[in-house]
Each structure stands twice: as structure tokens, then as C-alpha cells.
Amino acid sequence: MASAPSKLYADDVSLVVVLLDTNPFFWSSSSLSFSQFLSHVLAFFNAILTLNQLNQVVVIATGYNSCDYIFDSASDLNRSFENGRMPVMSSSLLQKLEEFLIKDEQLSKEEPEGRIKSSLFLGSLSMALCYIQRVFRSGALHPHPRILCLQGSPDGPEQYVAIMNAIFSAQRSEVPIDSCYIGAQNSAFLQQASYITGGVHHKPQNLDGLFQYLMTIFATDLHSRSFIHLPKPVGVDFRASCFCHKNTIDMGYVCSVCLSIFCKHHKKCSTCGSVFGQAQSEAASASDKKRKTPET
């Protein structure tokens, strides 16, 4: 897909919208502690801002119950949080983050049931896309935005449909989505997002050097990507989740009208309402059988 890498960027100004994963359940059981993570990440933000005078960083926190903007480097409200020990911007970010966490906690309803739940990645992705649309329509000269996802929580299959829609709209607006996954398993959503939109996906092996990963790979602006080689994943996990139970499946039934995926045979498509014909035999059934083999 001819997207970010092939588009001609006149200069190397970047506007990075960062989606920061603040899912407390994940962080409480991660090998990397949240404070270490924050120090890597905050240094990274500062580095981006020093690369070019016009660079801009916007941070959206992906919480467990809600998402919110917590930092915008272009705004003037950063002056009020003075703290001698770190740059001003970082301290304001931390302050906002704390407030966000308090709000998020208040929204929690029930006790967790066991597995680590996924964060509301979908919500923050949508907020990022809305922000970017606003930038597009602002009319003034703006750098071409990209989205950087720092995710650790596992994928929530129930968010599959909406995330795919968001990814396609990002593809349509030619906004590359970079993703750095610091969790334990693989995230199919992030891989697909980066693949489709022309961004770069990486899963760091060594989390102590997270800052180095961020600087080497994710600090590259879009113009430089035409001549700086970035690591590519060997394959992309294209598994989908079924629309009825939100399970991840690799073989299922596809409605030939609206292309929704189901894990077992249904009489009627729940998305578009079209009625499926009778299955004639086991082998030759009226609705297609599709096999998706992961290429990894």
C-alpha cells in the first residue's frame, strides 16, 4: 500500500500522537516497572522535541476505563508545574497523568476476574484520529502526523471490529501507526495496524534498553524513513476475531455480502441481515469457508 513511506515529505518535522498504556493491571505484573518505563518515555519525548524546533508531541493515556489527553507540547499550560528535578514539560505531564489515574479509578466498577484485561486502546486510537483530523482542518501549515502506540496490554477481541475500522480510517487519511509492544504475547491488532498503514511495529527484546529502541526506531520522522531502514517484522498475524463471540479465529465463515466473520454457521448474518442459503453438504457449503494461515 503506498502510504507514508512513499509519500513525499518536504521536511522532517513530525507531529507524534503517543498512546500511552496506563492499564494498571498490566503494569502491576510487568517486568518493567512503571517508573522506569516513564523515565524512558519522558526522555524520549524530550529527545523528539529537540530534533526539530517545530516538532510536536501529544500524549493520550489509554486507561482501563477511560482515555484522555494528558499532554500537548504545543500548549502554553506547561509553565505552571515547576519542579527542580526534571524538565517542566515532564512534570506537567506527570501531574496530568496522576489526575487521569484518579479519575480512571473512580470509574472502575467491578473486581477483576482473573485474566489481565485489555486497555481501551480503541478509545485512545479514536481520540488520536480525531485530533489529527482537527490538525488537518486547521488549515495552517502542519507537519504530517503519525501515531505511536506504546502498548503492553493484550488485545481485546471484542474491540476487533471497531479497531479495524479505526485502522482503515487511518489508512485512508494516510496516517502511519507505529507500535511498540512491551507485553508478553504478540498483539495481532498492532501488527495489522502498522502493516496496513505503513508504519513500523517492533517488540523490544530487551526492555532495559527501551529508550534505545525508541530512539533508533520510533524517533525517525516520516521523511527520513525513505532512506533510513527500520526493522521489519518477518510476518504479520492476520487473525481476526469472530463477530459473534469475539474469539480470535483463523478459520471461519464469511458473509459474502458484508464480509463479517463468524466462527460457526449462522442462519442469518447479524451485521447486514442477509439470510444464508442452506448448506448442501459438509464439504460444499453455501457460505464460504476461509482459512487464514498466520505467516509467522
Partner 1 sequence: MHLLNLILQTSSFGVFTSSRLFFPLRLPATFSFALQIFPSRSTISFSHYNIHKTMASGLVTKRAKYKTTIKDPGTPGHLRMTLEKILFMPHNPKSAGKLDVEFRYIKGQKHTKEGSNKPPWLNLTNNQNGSFIFEFENYSDLQDCRDFVGKVLAKSGEVSEKPTVAYPDEQLSAAEMELRIKLLQEDSELQKLHKQFVLSGVLTEAEFWATRKKLLDREASKKMKQRLGFKSAMVSDIKPSTDGRTNKVTFNLTPEIILQIFAEKPAVHRAFLSYVPNKMSERNFWTKYFRAEYLHSTKNSIAAAAEAAEDEELAVFLKQDDILASEARKKIRRVDPTLDMEADEGDDYTHLPDHGIFRDGNKEMTESQNELYKRTLSQDINRHAAVVLEGRAVDAEFEDTKAVAEALAQSKRESSNKGESDGDTSRERLDRLSRMTEIEDLQGSNNLPLAPLCIKDPRDYFDSQQANALRTSGDALGGTEQIKCSLSILEVYSSLRESISSIKAMGWKEPIVKPEAAHQVFDALTNSISNTKHNIGKNPQESVLDRLPRKTKEELLHIWTSILELLKHFWASYPITTSYLYAKVNRLKDAMSNIYPQLEEIKGSVPSEFRHQVSLLVRPMHQALDAAIQHYEASMQKRSTQSGEKPNGYV
Our finding on whether 211 is near partner 1 (CB under 8 A) is yes
Of 40 and 144, CB closest to partner 1:
40
Contact 249, 239 (CB under 8 A): yes
Binding residues for partner 1 restricted to 236-265, rule: CB under 8 A: 243, 245-248
Of 74, 80, 88, 212, the one binding partner 1 (CB under 8 A) is 212
Give which of 13, 21, 37, 2 is closest to 179, Cα–Cα.
21
**Segment contacting partner 1 by CB under 8 A, of 10-18, 29-37, 50-58, 135-143:** 29-37
Instruction: Please state the closest distance from residue 275 (CB atom) to partner 1, in A.
Output: 14
Give min distance, CB of 141 to partner 1, in A: 30
User: Is residue 128 within 8 Å of 216, Cβ to Cβ?
Assistant: no
Residue 101 in the binding site for partner 1 (CB under 8 A): yes
Q: Is 7 in the site for partner 1 (CB under 8 A)?
A: no
Query: Quick check: 1 binds partner 1 (CB under 8 A)?
Result: yes
Amino acid at position 245, single letter: H
Gap between the Cα atoms of 205 and 45, Å rounded: 21
To the nearest whole angstrom, how small is the minimum distance from the Cβ of residue 180 to partner 1? 13
Phi-psi region of 239 (alpha: psi -120 to 50; beta: other; left: phi over 0): beta
Closest to partner 1 by CB, 119 vs 135, is 119
Query: Among residues 116 and 254, whose Cβ is nearest to partner 1?
Result: 116
Place of cell 527520513: 224
CA 274 to the chain's CA centroid: 33
Nearer Cβ to partner 1 (136/256) = 256
Q: How many residues at the interface with partner 1, by CB under 8 A?
A: 75
In whole angstroms, give the CA distance from residue 137 to residue 131. 10
Contact flag: residue 277 with partner 1 (CB under 8 A):
no
* Closer of 142 and 203 to partner 1 (Cβ): 203
User: Which residues are within 8 A (CB) of 192 and not within 5 positions of it... i.e. 6 or more apart?
Assistant: 164, 167, 236, 237, 238
Using DSSP's 3-state secondary structure scheme, residue 257 falls into coil
Residue 13 or 214 having the CB closest to partner 1? 214
- Check: CB of residue 43 under 8 Å from CB of residue 216: no
Q: What's at 12, amino acid-wise? A: D
Residue 43 within binding range of partner 1, rule CB under 8 A: yes
Give me the least distance between CB of 74 and partner 1, in Å please.
23
Which of 209, 162, 156 is CA-nearest to residue 182? 209
Contact between 69 and partner 1 (CB under 8 A)?
Answer: no
According to DSSP, the residues that pair with 261 across neighbouring strands are 254
Write the CB contacts of 115 (distance below 8 Å, at least 6 apart in sequence).
Answer: none
Nearer to partner 1, 15 or 213 (CB): 213
Q: Please, which of residues 104-143 interact with partner 1 by CB under 8 A?
A: 104-105, 108, 111-116
Residues 164-203 interacting with partner 1 (rule: CB under 8 A): 184-185, 195
Kindly indicate which of the ranges 50-58, 144-152, 169-177, 223-231 contains the residues binding partner 1, using the contact rule CB under 8 A.
223-231
**Among 9, 164, 203, 204, interactor with partner 1 by CB under 8 A:** 204
In the complex with partner 1, the residue whose CB is nearer, 22 or 179, is 22
184 in Cβ contact with 155 (< 8 Å): no
What Cα–Cα distance (Å) separates residue 248 from each residue in 42, 165, 199, 203?
A: 34, 17, 23, 21
